[in-house]
Amino acid sequence: MIHLIHLFTTNSGFSEATVFAISLVICWNIETIAGLATGYRKWKHALVNSHFILTGILPQLAVGYLFVRTMHWTYVHHFGLTWHMHISKNPLSLFLVTFVLLDLGEYVYHVIMHRVNSLWFFHAVHHSDHYVDVSTTLREHPGENLIRNCFTLVWVLLSGAVFWTFFLRQLIQIISNIFVHMHYRLPGRFDRVLGTVFITPNIHQVHHHFERPYTDCNYGDVLSVWDHLFGTFRMLPGEQIVFGVDIMMDQRINSRYLPLMKFPFTRQKPGKLPERHVYH
């Protein structure tokens, strides 16, 4: 196990890309085979969202070096909560505590992105997708990409996360984020059990409903426990969900790459309400 972790962490960039690609392909095919949604051109939709890969590279590179330096500093100075808990010699405890702390940080970040208007307009680009599927995972404005990574730096600093725990948590986060955006709904009973602890597609689809209070709920990243704990958990039947966000319903904006890139700075008026999404 230790050798496997070492192999993955010494090739972290390649490992993350590989896990992302495999997860994307698997979930893409589940969507396609299951055929739960109709009324949109899946490949064309994915092509628009794929543009954000290119604009996301620069912020990732800009912050990547800071992650390495921050984790090196916390390691040398034994700074952060995990160091004060004296669990560094127990790999499982160290990983679980680090995972929970970082996931809580992601929950806090997500709430802030919704509550602070100047940040919300960047995050709204992700919410503007009228057809939430695995490609929506890619739909992140580079401004939000930079903001998110800066927040994660703070959580790494406060938690005292060491590289291998942070890296493994990133792999789980990648798989989870693709899974929860998958255009698929789990059976009700199974979803209720799994959703007690983890974010599921059913839970996250409610977060992508176009209007409040549902837009401002289910903020969890991997774990749903924070939403249950802080009272931000809500559910909505699948047939009532309308994907999108009320401040940018105009398809001339949210189905084209350049208008999406400009949106946080122009904040154009809402357009026509999309049709209600259909599940079979």
Tens of pLDDT, residues 130-150:
889 999 999 999 999 999 999
Question: What predicted TM-score, i.e. pTM, was given to this entire model?
Answer: 0.85
The CA–CA distances, whole Å, from 113 to 70, 107, 120, 178 equal 23, 10, 5, 20
226-242 burial string, b = 16+ CB within 10 Å, else e? bbeeeebbeebebeebb
What is the distance between the terminal CA atoms of the chain, rounded to a whole angstrom? 43
Distance CA 160, CA 145 (A): 22
Q: What pLDDT score does 274 carry?
A: 43
Q: What pLDDT score does 28 carry?
A: 57
Residues of the chain with pLDDT under 50: 1-8, 270-280
Q: What pLDDT score does 24 carry?
A: 65
Distance CA 268, CA 182 (A): 29
Q: What pLDDT score does 35 carry?
A: 54
Q: What pLDDT score does 31 carry?
A: 66
Domain ranges of the chain: 2-266
Q: What pLDDT score does 148 carry?
A: 92
